[in-house]
Amino acid sequence: MPAFPSQLAAHARRLAARARPRCRRIVRQLPRRLRAALVLVLAAAMILAPLEAIACTSFTIRTQTKGVIYARTMEFGFPLQSQSMFIPRKQVISATGTDAHPGTKWTTKYATIGMNAFGLKCLSDGMNEKGLAGGLLYFPDYASYTPDADAGNRQVMAPWDLLTWALTNFANVAEVKEALSQIVVLGVKEPHLGFVPGVHYTLHDASGASIVIEPIDGRLKVYDNPYSVLTNSPPFDWHEMNLRNYVKLSPTQAPPRVIAGQTIRPLGEGSGLLGIPGDTTPPSRFIRALGFSQAAVPTEPGLPSVRLAEHILNNFDIPKGWAQDPALKEASIEYTQWSVVADLENLRYYLKTYEDPTLRELDFKQLDPDGKDILLGPLHPAVTPPVTPLPDKMAAR
């Protein structure tokens, strides 16, 4: 059996090469129209494959005092050019709409901090001054936005506007749920991406309430999320059903068993987790994120709990090369571009990037909530992040 990974990959290429002539013969025997349709399907698959691989993982944990810590990763196959962002109160925000239905405008009620993409003045992730936090996550194949003709008299916005609208207008999850009937999200093409981005949304508040918002069949479907975990496609209710496949998983060590009169003990710690999926697909990451967040032992509020969330986040880091599409080579190498941790009790927002894994902090206390301008800041340091040396005095013992 070929060894993993290089010999196995070479073996797969040899098998594919042997199968290729036979596939060509089969295709040539198909009717012309069917061949044309097959070409279109394969072309679409090549275009969409790198996009469908995009991975984001989010979860919350609780502190010893029942405070909420929210955390998530952001993966993409090319640089998002993200910046840190601060939106003060009383800012006029204009959403994106269509020619038939222009985007709505609103004046921000709550100051908000977070992350953007492509220099846009809207949030991919963030937290407001009331402790409402959340993000948008990629949702390919299933996102279905309201048709232009069905917009009616509701407030119109693009997929990338909803999170900013929610965080700058509402104090908690309940308020967002009540207001969702007033808006409509249209399938607007994002100019930097060149297509309509399929996304869904996770929101959490300081009380611990969580919801998922998904554009399904032309309307916004809202789920209460008792697990406070979200990844990517399929829809949230599918992930919830999939949990039934893993009910035996436990962080508790499996007990010894007597088989044929012999006592068989587990090999090492962690035997209760045998069978937990370890790949980077959304269903597998959902299971792992739920397992980590539920098993995490609550610690002190503030930075100790932030560090605990960071440790969990590290399990979902994707280095360059681990998730890629061979058809598109470098252009499709997905990686964790940034991760954030939000302390919903102390109103501090932490971030780290692929280039610099040192946590950096955005603190509402250091920002003017009534400032005149939306502020943007770079993520990447100007110099290589320093490595702290160990003490230079070491003594023999």
Note the pLDDT of residue 326.
Answer: 72
| CATH code for position 175 | 3.60.60.10
Q: Is residue 72 part of a domain?
A: yes
Q: Does the residue 71 lie in any domain?
A: yes
Position 150 in a domain: yes
Look at residue 395 and tell me if it is in a domain.
Answer: no
Is 301 a member of any domain?
yes
Residue 71 identity (one-letter amino acid) = A
Which pLDDT score, from 0 to 100, does residue 29 have?
Answer: 54
Residue type, 82: S
pLDDT grade, residue 233 (50/70/90)? very high
| pLDDT bucket at 389, cuts 50 / 70 / 90 | confident
Q: How many helices (H) and strands (E) does the chain have?
A: 7, 19
Per-residue pLDDT at 381: 66
pLDDT greater than 60 at residue 23: no
The pLDDT confidence band at residue 331, using thresholds 50, 70 and 90, is low
Name the band, by pLDDT with cuts 50, 70 and 90, for residue 334: confident
E strands, the chain, in order: 58-62, 68-76, 84-87, 92-94, 105-107, 112-115, 125-128, 133-138, 155-157, 183-185, 199-204, 210-216, 219-224, 257-259, 262-264, 335-343, 348-353, 360-363, 375-377
**pLDDT band at residue 229 using 50, 70 and 90 as cut-offs:** very high
Distance between CA atoms of residues 176 and 207, nearest Å:
14
Instruction: Report CA Rg, the chain.
Output: 24
Residue 193 lies in a domain: yes
Q: Give the residue-averaged pLDDT of 244-262.
A: 96
pTM of the model: 0.84
Catalytic positions are 56
Q: Is residue 132 part of a domain?
A: yes
**Strands laid side by side in the 58-62 sheet:** 58-62, 68-76, 335-343, 348-353, 360-363
Among 192, 199, 227, 161, residue whose Cα is nearest residue 54:
199
Between 156 and 382, name the one with better pLDDT.
Answer: 156
pLDDT 10s digits, 54-81: 689 999 999 999 999 999 999 988 889 9
* Angle 279-69-90 from CA coordinates, rounded to 5°: 115
pLDDT at position 43, please? 38
Longest CA–CA span in the chain (Å) reads: 82
Average pLDDT over residues 297-305: 98
Q: Indicate the average pLDDT of the chain.
A: 87
Q: What is the mean pLDDT of residues 238-266?
A: 96
Burial of 242 from C-beta contacts in 10 A (0-12 / 13-18 / 19+): middle
Residue 345: inside a domain, yes or no? yes
Higher per-residue confidence, 7 vs 301:
301
Q: Percent of the chain scored above 70 by pLDDT? A: 82
Instruction: For the chain, give the percent of residues with pLDDT over 90.
Output: 74
Total domains in the chain come to: 1
Alpha-carbon distance of 212 to 171, in angstroms, equals 16
Could you report the per-residue pLDDT of 74-114, keeping only the tens digit for each? 998 888 999 999 999 999 999 999 999 999 999 999 999 99
Q: pLDDT of 148-202, one tens digit each?
A: 999 999 999 999 999 999 999 999 999 999 999 999 999 999 988 899 999 999 9
Note down the domain range covering 343.
Answer: 54-233+285-377
Of the two residues 396 and 236, the one the predictor is more confident about is: 236
Please state the rounded mean pLDDT for residues 217-240: 98
**Model pLDDT, residue 13:** 41
